[in-house]
Amino acid sequence: MRLDPTALATLLQGRRIAAVSGTNGKTTTTHLLAAAVRAGLGADADRVVTNADGANLHHGIASALGQAPHADVAVLETDERVVADVVRLGRPEVLVLLNFSRDQLDRHHEIKALGRSWRNALEAAGADGPVVVANAEEPLIVWAAQTAREVVWVDTASRWQQDASLCPQCGAGLARTQPDPETGEGGDWSCTGCDLAEPRAALKVRDGQIIDTDGRRWDPRLQVPGGFNVGNAAHALAAAHLLGVGTEDALAGMRTVTSPGGRFATATIAGTTVRLVLAKNPAGWAEALPLARSETVVLAIDSAAADGRDVSWLWDVEYEQLRGRRVVCTGPRAQDLAVRLTYAEVDFAVEPDLAEALRLARAHGSAERSEPFDVIATYTPFQRLRRIGGIA
């Protein structure tokens, strides 16, 4: 791109493109969708190119495409800031919009500005724009997707609502109905000041299963844990349908995904067997903490550029649920986390060095079963642990 500033636009041309974006889950959803499409193509699976390493800015996308010039199907993880450019330059066939949460506050600032960029790009694309697969539970996503030529709505039964209290259209408060405790139906949102409201979803997630437009229930049987990943799979399934892949083939492909980008991978680091979980922001931590199975849990925090330098989000995470466990705080911002855990009344030890923290966890957990220690980390320490552990 230094030699040819138009390289990205050139590399995007002549391909069927599915772009995936959102604050949380875009790497996993991209892996799921790419696997689904490959399963649908069968012997022609090498026609698919994807940025599997998660490099989702302009240079990363161009690099992935440049390594597969003859692949005519591209499944691209796309940073929130890059969505508008990919829509403008590549005219994707499908655009998956997962969620919007406060993330890297010093980089993204107010997330409504990003939502507006998506909305404007879809409006400018008009009839040539993508079919959008979008999360119906996210008010900002719904507002951003209003200008798309066509939208397939997905209801993921998400538990996180703290980033959606005001209407992105008029600024009034949002109201929610109470969900039915037996069926899980309800819990829909609507604006108290205008007509913006949760749209009717074509696909729904209920009790760990995906309900399609015909009312059939599909058990995804994924190898990646967490109900939120069933929601990611529902988005990937809808996108796969738009690309001509049937449900059975798509789910069979998704079941081959084990540790997308190192997430949920198990490795031995500093003599300690660990399971790595990435959590970048309050919404991500809300989903990651319930996944922790080990009695001793390592939490790794940094504030490098890729993490976001502002760590005030620590106070929006319910670390209180770790009471009764042993916690080891590590990373350059371990002391900030220690203060938060003190207020949460969680027992902890502080060891800023990652390798030493894992040894300390092993010492604390010597009486535990021989299962991996859960390590929940922000982006920079997560990537460092991947490298140390030799995880591709």
Instruction: Tell me the binding residues for Zn(2+).
Output: 167, 170, 191, 194
Instruction: Report the DSSP beta bridge partners of residue 21.
Output: 97
Beta-bridge partners for 132: 95, 151
| Residues forming a β-bridge with 176 | 189
Please work out, in degrees rounded to the nearest 5, the angle formed at the alpha carbon of residue 97 by the alpha carbons of 94 and 101. Answer: 165
Q: Tell me phi and psi for residue 164, to 5 degrees.
A: -140, 80
Question: What are the structure tokens assigned to 217, written together?
Answer: 């229930």
Task: Measure the CA–CA gap between 281 and 379, rounded to whole angstroms.
Answer: 10
Across the chain, the runs of DSSP E, i.e. the strands, are: 16-21, 48-50, 73-77, 94-97, 131-135, 150-155, 174-176, 189-191, 203-206, 209-211, 217-218, 266-269, 272-278, 296-300, 326-330, 348-350, 373-377
Q: Check if 128 is active-site.
A: no
> How many CB atoms sit inside 10 A of residue 291's CB?
17
Q: How many CA atoms lie within 13 A of 381 on its CB side?
A: 28
Alpha-carbon distance of 350 to 378, in angstroms, equals 16
- Catalytic residue of the set 46, 310, 347, 353: 310
Contacts of 275 (CB under 8 A, 6+ apart): 264, 265, 266, 294, 372, 373, 374, 375
For residue 173, give the DSSP letter: B
Measured distance CA(320)–CA(286) in Å, rounded? 11
Contact by Cβ (8 Å): 68, 293: no
Q: b/e map of 227-244 (b: 16 or more CB within 10 Å)?
A: bbbbbbbbbbbbbbbbbe
Q: Which residues are catalytic?
A: 310
